[in-house]
Structure 1
Amino acid sequence: METRANHVWVGAVTLILLGLLALFIVWLARLGTADQKEYDIFFNQSVAGLANGSEVTFAGVPIGQVSQIRLWEDDPGFVRVRIRVEPDAAILVGTTATLQSSFTGVSTILLDGARRNAPPITCETTACPEGAPVIPPKAGGFGEIIANAPLLLERLATLTERLTMLLSDSNQGEIAGILRNTNEISQALADTAPQTERTLAELQVTLREASNALVGFERVTGSADRVLNSTDRLLNQEGAALADEVRKTLNTANQAAEALTATLQDAQPAAQQLSQSTIPAANATLEDLRATSRALRQVTEKIENEGVSSLIGGQNLPTYDPDE
């Protein structure tokens, strides 16, 4: 009985010592993590491969680990990941968290992007919906690919199926026909290449002539501008003097017209007298002169034909025949 009692005491003491050792280890663990900082990260993607105790690195340097992974109660579309990092880790404003996956299935959290002289991330500089400052997430390239691998495989399978349908026997025949038509078109283009070159050469000549014509037009336009400038200068500089001369000429013409009008008014009575008395008398005189001229012509002709004696002789009487 005494031996059995000793074994019971030894077992009890051993269990007590083991319990004290466990409590001491837990106390040491809590003592080591008491000064660590806690942050929350809200991922709106799958966090497959991430577990409690997963490593947290800053620019590749281990600074902490994941302490808790939960679906966010306010929005189940987000996964809340709480991390603990060393107290001297520079978690500044601008720092982002990336979920980095690997082919082995183990995921880690990579922190980077801290800006120099920026304030640290605290509840005063960012939100604290769950009692810890929030580090904004950033989609990681390789991790995003790993997370979306099932979707990529599904789309790849769909693409392969559609390519198989596209490359069926009937479609291959259609593609062969298209290639033959393309070859014929290429041959036709090759056959028309010389004509195309000639057309291009003619087009270049035409463009050159058009350019020369444009240059000539610009010269004509320049000459016209110079003429217009000269005309404008002539009108502006000499137009005033010319206008004065024209005004003087018009005044002189007006004066001459007024003088002619007065002269005509003065000559109107004389013209009436001339037409009423002088001209009829002159006409009568002209008639008398015409009669006198005819008489003198008759006398002259008689002298020429019969002599001077015909003027002084009597007039011959006609012969009288008693039988008649």
Structure 2
Amino acid sequence: METRANYLLIGAFTLAGFLGLLGFLLWFARVELDRQFAYYDIYFPTVTGLSNASEVRFSGLPVGQVVEVALAPDQSGEVRVRVEVDAGTPVRTSSVATIESLGVTGQSYVGISAGDPRDPLLEAVAEETVPDIPAGRSVLQTLSQDAPEILEEILQVSRRVSDLLGPENQDRVANILANVENSSAELSQALEDFSAVTETIATATEDIGAFTSRLEDISAAATTTLETADGTLRQVSDLAERAETTLEVGDDALRSGRQTLDSANAFIETDLPRVVETLESTLASLRTEIDRVGGDASAMLAEFRQTGEVATARLAEAEETIAALDRVLDDTSRSVAAVEAAATRFDTFIAEDGTALVTETRDFLANANEVAEAAVSVAEEDLPAILRDIRQATETAARTVESVGADLSAAAGRADDISAEVAATLDTVGTTFENANATLGRINTALETGESALAAAERAFTTADSVMTEDVQQVVTSLQDTLARLDEAVAAVTADIPTITDEIRQTAERANAAFAQVERTAGDLGPSLQAFANDGLPQYTRLGREARELVENLQTLARQIQRDPARYFLGRDAPAYRR
């Protein structure tokens, strides 16, 4: 050793180095001697990875450290962690403390949330000396604690997916697809059948149109015939009026012809039966012709009925084309209305003019007795000339009746000519009545026979009218019922097809949605589960192992520092001084 060492300099240098090293340590440890601290207690259920001197962060900013970790005094099993933070840290009543992990190493620290700025500071309202901050769970703790439940739910979802995709549901889906395919095939066949029905209806519509055209022609012909008959009857009314005038002129002659009747009895007994036989044969021919005309009318109505039955049979096969059938019904309604109008006019004529004509005839017969009294005197004076005129009138009447019967048999359209001939005949008869009033008795019989003929004609026309009205009404009613059934059938089919289509579409949509949901669920869970199994679990295992190693290293370091801080910071070798 040196004998002349400067101990004062060496001591000063040593003190200066020690003070410098102490300042460096204070600076390195960030020790603030004038710093003010606030203390808070936090009660955690577990503090894995947390120890004294662990960092405390407020909203991610370091503000202090853990100064004590111990069990709670009330022995509730919780761990009390006392933290030391800067006095200016705004810890509020809504702030929550959690244990977080820092960095890749997983070092734990206490994190305090800022809370609601509107809440008061915890230190200002707390009654305890050391306020308590409510403890919360971190994301890692939440994940660690809820992981079993999450795994259980994932397993349940997997089982449900397996059940959903099991053989039974696969068979059901296969059956649904098979049913959809069968429904599509049946729908195609139904559409083909519907097309065939449409073609049949179109054909029936054409036939009905042709029948309607024929019915219109027949209705027009019937209307023309009835109009002609109306004109003929009007002419007959005119002839009746003229006959009445003639009878008025012959009243004087009849008053003077009463005596002539006695002389006319011989004529009545000899020549008159032959005339009556001729008239009766003529009337029989007329009845035959009328019966034949009635038979033709019945045959025509039978043809109408048969045509209606054919139309009904055709309409029974139809199921659509409502618009065309509506037009046909309109045409048929107009035709039936025309027939009904014509029949109404004919009935009106029979009810009004025919009744008046019969009444006038009966009045004429009532006055015949008075005429007969005057005819006696005329018969005594003018009988020979009257007999000749009677024979001529009888022959003329026979020819006229035969001509009328032939004309009625030949064609009903010659009613105008017949009316003219009847008018000429009535003129001749009027002239004959002026010359021979003795024949009024027999003419009365002829008028009675004519009245019977008119009654028979009236009955025939009434029968024809009733047949036409009832049968045509039945045909129209049958057509309306058939069209109503057709409309209901078409409406039912039309209403069922959208329903079936919607059900098939909804079933397919639900099946697609179920499969899509299953695929989405499997697609969403598959990568997550695979990634968690491949990456997450090994990382958690490695994280726990590294955390344990880190804690052991920190504990070893802390024990070394506690045993010999100076030696740890200043070194293990003692300095050697040379004299």
Which protein has the bigger helix share? 2
Same fold by TM (over 0.5)?
Answer: no
Q: Which has the higher strand share?
A: 1
- Please state which band the TM-score falls in when normalised by the shorter chain: 0.3 to 0.5
